[in-house]
Structure 1
Amino acid sequence: MPQEPRIDVETRARGIENSLTAEQVEHIAEALGQQGVWFAAPPERSGQARRPELVWDLVGDRPHQGYTATGRAAVHLADGHDTLTRPLILADGFNHGPSDLDALWRHFNQPYHKGVPGFLDQLRGMGIDVVLLGFDQRHAAIQANAAVAVTCVQHAIAERRGDDQLVVGGVSMGGIVTRYALALMESERIDHQTDKYFSYDSPHLGAWIPLALQQLAYLHEALAPRSDGPGQAELIRSPAAQQLLWGWVDDADYSGPVTSSSPLRQEFLEDLRRVGWFPMRPYKLGLANGTGNGIGPDLPPGTPVIDLRHEALQLTARIQPDLGELQNVGAISIGAPVWTSATSHVAAFDGAPGGTLDSWGRLADAVGLPIQDRFRSSCFVPSVSAIALARDPFEWQADLYQDLSGLPKDETFLDAFCCDAVDTEHSSVSGPLIEWFLEQLAGW
């Protein structure tokens, strides 16, 4: 049995903020900067957003732990359609707060080749009606937002003219929300009338945010609380983040297992198993922003990325080391060490092939440090996660660098998948992925 991945923190006292003088607290807070919610992706502002023909206000078909989620869908009819006929539902992904459906349109319809229409316009040109599904709280529990997806599917069926089957899926977390929604409907014998399910760089086995960066977000929030909005760790603390992240910590001083530290992730995976793990009826497609050749970005394990010296303060954060015992990932010293963090049995996630996130770059920008371009981004959704490698989500990390070319069919929970030619930004519009997906839909 592999040993359970864990993190261990040493501080002068329980709660680093209690072990420092007021002046030292001010130094660290000043050094870490304060620029909004860390890890929240900004909305796409470039380009034009098409005005939808219809907007549906949606309420989840059931509460989850007392909370009933809400959302809305923007319906963009295909060329020549005056009513919903061939619906493709694309659910928004994980972020803080409500979905911006105009931004979602701009993101997916941005040109990826000169002279070629955007992805969503191509769908409309194929006679496919695009339904963009958003959530009022993207960071709420997946089960709650899945109830909104169920309502959206039922609404599309009720509004549809004719009997063409649906295509249902989403980007990032949206692919997990719709996966759960369709599986739930099947488990309750509700006819979702869905021919194809798709996920666009969705973390079926889990996503990755460097543990050291999670800790620094909590640390900054503790040392410099905000009164005008959410703190830097708000997104990490959210229910959806706890459910999606392969490794998660709940504060800067946490020591213990990282894959089972959140009961919300364990409960969600149990819920997925209860409803059937994946929907069985649709043909299941997966798109990965990472490569499938087993080669990731050049991020040597254990390399210091942030090495900040601010008067007497020294702060270091490192690329995730590869396995081992008590491998240092971060340290803060003020004359003498006041906080150190080390991981054991955690694989080298940062350099794995996968859809990337500029997590390191955002921290560097926040603290005003120069950083090499190659260190700005690291793996966020490993390719093996996006293509739903047939593994236990708690024990899959040894496969991070697996070559996925020629993967046997029984090694993935999907029916077909496509990896990108190079590791690209998580959820980014990529020519190879879009063209493959359009080919998959051509016979629908």
Structure 2
Amino acid sequence: MAQEPRVDVETRATSLRSSLTEEQAEHIADALGDQGVWFATPRPRTIDAPRPDHVWDLVGDQPHQGRTATGRATVYLAEGHAALTRPLILADGFNYGPSDLDALWSHFNAGAPAFLDRLRGMGIDVILLGFDQRQTYIQANAAVAASCVRRAIQERQGDLPLVVGGVSLGGLITRYALARLESEGVDHQTDKYFSYDTPHLGAWIPLVLQQLAYLHESVQPRSDGPGHAGLIRSPAAQQLLWGWVESEDYSGPVTSASPLRAEFLDDLRGVGSFPMRPYKLGLANGAGDGAATGLEPGTPVFDLHHDPLQLTARVQPDMGELQNVGTIKFGAPLWVSVTSRVPAFDGAPGGTLDSWGRVADAIGLPIEERLRAGCFVPTVSAIALAQDPLQWPADLHRDLADLPKDETFLDAFHCDPANSAHGSMSEVLVDWFLEQLAGW
């Protein structure tokens, strides 16, 4: 049996923090900056959102882990509609804190694609679904999505079926919600399900950046809110990340480090994995030709000299044994992080996230433009390649042009011609999606 990919950390003592003097800890804290949650994604409001026709306050239709999640939906009726008639539910994705539905409108409707305006022009009523805690358990927010589906059915005039899906984690939340409703014998009346750059198999944040986020909290705990690692340790992150570590000193397997991921995947299989009734559509911000990006495995991205501190962090190397991804030195090495049998995710085709750039900006380090962003949702994950999500794919660079239908869990999918930012509105993807709805 093949050995699981893993990370190994060497420190002088049982932990890096106990290896450091107070002066050294202050050097690291100063060097790593102090700008909130590193991996949270603010969505700037580029246009004014119109006033919604209706606002729904939503409560999950069942608790998870003893807690009931809440959320909100804004309803924008199509041109010429006086009541909800052809509902399309679009769920928000992975981030920290509550959804900003005005910002969500701006994000989806900005630029040439004008996605939401075009939907409404087709006679489709748009329901933007947000969550009060985007970082909580997927099952909990799926209960909010289920309540949204029930409310849409209740409010709808006539009997036209629903279209339900979401961007990023929102596609996974609605996937679980619809599958769970089917497993309970509830008619969700949904004809089409869609996911927009959704991590069906998993998402990726460089392991060394996860470690540095924990390290910063270790040397400079925050008292006024979440620290840099606040999003990484959240339930949703543990459930969706292909590789996860629990601290800067963790040594061990990275695909099974969190029991929350295995538990979620068990729950997902328990409700049927995917909803069976809807026609399932997938959109990928990543390219489908399998070509590698410009992030060469093992490339040093950060080489920080903050006398006497030296900190190095590297693009994820490609497989191998004990491959260096990060080092902290005060003269002699105090912390060394290495990975074994981990694929070069950073340079894989997929929807990109400027993880390296955000950390560089927080630290105040110059960074080459080509190194700012790496793969966040591999294309093979966004198109739901038919494989076990707990196993990393044999080939992240699979050419998907002629993929047999039985090798994806979706009924149809479309990829961007070139890798684009995760969740960004691509005119190519929007055009394809609207074509899929044209006969609805």
TM-score range, shorter chain: over 0.9
State the distance in 2 between where 1:106 and 1:422 align.
23
Equivalent position to 2:389, from 390, 393, 398: 393
2:78 match: 78
Preserved contact between residue 385 and residue 407 of structure 2 (Cα < 8 Å)? yes
For 1:321-346, what per-residue CA distance to the aligned partner results, in whole angstroms no more than 9, with x for missing partners?
00011100001000100000000010
Task: Note the 1:291-302 alignment, pairs <5 A.
Answer: 291-302=287-298
Task: Note the 1:203-214 alignment, pairs <5 A.
Answer: 203-214=199-210
The question of 1:188 aligning with 2:184 is answered yes
For 1:230-258, what per-residue CA distance to the aligned partner results, in whole angstroms no more than 9, with x for missing partners?
11100000000000000000000000000
Task: Note the 1:45-444 alignment, pairs <5 A.
Answer: 45-112=45-112, 118-444=114-440
Quote how far apart the aligned CAs of 1:396 are. 2.8
Letter in 1 for 2:200: H
Quote how far apart the aligned CAs of 1:421 are. 0.9
DSSP 3-state at the match of 1:241: helix
Preserved contact between residue 302 and residue 322 of structure 1 (Cα < 8 Å)? yes
Quote how far apart the aligned CAs of 1:44 are. 2.4
Letter in 2 for 1:119: F
Quote how far apart the aligned CAs of 1:14 are. 1.7
State the distance in 1 between where 2:98 and 2:13 align.
38
Quote how far apart the aligned CAs of 1:46 are. 1.1
DSSP 3-state at the match of 2:387: coil
State the distance in 1 between where 2:256 and 2:54 align.
42
2:40 match: 40
State the distance in 2 between where 1:441 and 1:397 align.
31
State the distance in 2 between where 1:241 and 1:67 align.
18
Quote how far apart the aligned CAs of 1:364 are. 0.9
Preserved contact between residue 289 and residue 427 of structure 1 (Cα < 8 Å)? yes
The alpha-carbon distance between structure 1 residues 49 and 296, as it changes in their structure 2 partners (threshold 3 A), is: farther
Quote how far apart the aligned CAs of 1:395 are. 1.4
State the distance in 1 between where 2:92 and 2:174 align.
10
TM-score normalised per structure 1:
0.98
State the distance in 2 between where 1:369 and 1:65 align.
41
Letter in 1 for 2:179: A
Letter in 1 for 2:223: S
DSSP 3-state at the match of 1:237: coil
Letter in 1 for 2:50: R
Letter in 2 for 1:246: W
The question of 1:24 aligning with 2:24 is answered yes
Preserved contact between residue 296 and residue 354 of structure 1 (Cα < 8 Å)? no
Percent sequence identity over aligned pairs: 73
Quote how far apart the aligned CAs of 1:65 are. 0.7
DSSP 3-state at the match of 2:265: helix
State the distance in 2 between where 1:53 and 1:109 align.
17
DSSP 3-state at the match of 1:290: strand
Quote how far apart the aligned CAs of 1:41 are. 0.2
DSSP 3-state at the match of 2:26: helix
State the distance in 2 between where 1:18 and 1:156 align.
55
Preserved contact between residue 44 and residue 104 of structure 1 (Cα < 8 Å)? no
For 1:44-83, what per-residue CA distance to the aligned partner results, in whole angstroms no more than 9, with x for missing partners?
2211111100000000000001010000100000000010
Letter in 1 for 2:40: A
For 1:258-311, what per-residue CA distance to the aligned partner results, in whole angstroms no more than 9, with x for missing partners?
000100000000000000010011000000000000013111100100000111
Letter in 1 for 2:244: W
DSSP 3-state at the match of 1:235: coil
Q: Which moved more, 1:10-19 or 1:205-214?
A: 10-19
Preserved contact between residue 242 and residue 392 of structure 2 (Cα < 8 Å)? no
Quote how far apart the aligned CAs of 1:184 are. 0.2
Work out the number of aligned pairs and report it: 440
Quote how far apart the aligned CAs of 1:89 are. 0.1
State the distance in 1 between where 2:302 and 2:148 align.
44
State the distance in 1 between where 2:172 and 2:27 align.
41
DSSP 3-state at the match of 2:359: helix
Preserved contact between residue 207 and residue 244 of structure 2 (Cα < 8 Å)? yes
Quote how far apart the aligned CAs of 1:394 are. 1.6
Preserved contact between residue 73 and residue 130 of structure 2 (Cα < 8 Å)? yes
RMSD after superposition: 0.7
The runs of at least 4 consecutive aligned structure 1 residues that moved more than 6 Å come to none
DSSP 3-state at the match of 1:134: strand
Q: Which moved more, 1:374-383 or 1:294-303?
A: 294-303
State the distance in 1 between where 2:418 and 2:48 align.
28
State the distance in 2 between where 1:49 and 1:244 align.
30
DSSP 3-state at the match of 2:338: strand
1:4 match: 4
Quote how far apart the aligned CAs of 1:15 are. 2.0
Preserved contact between residue 11 and residue 339 of structure 1 (Cα < 8 Å)? yes
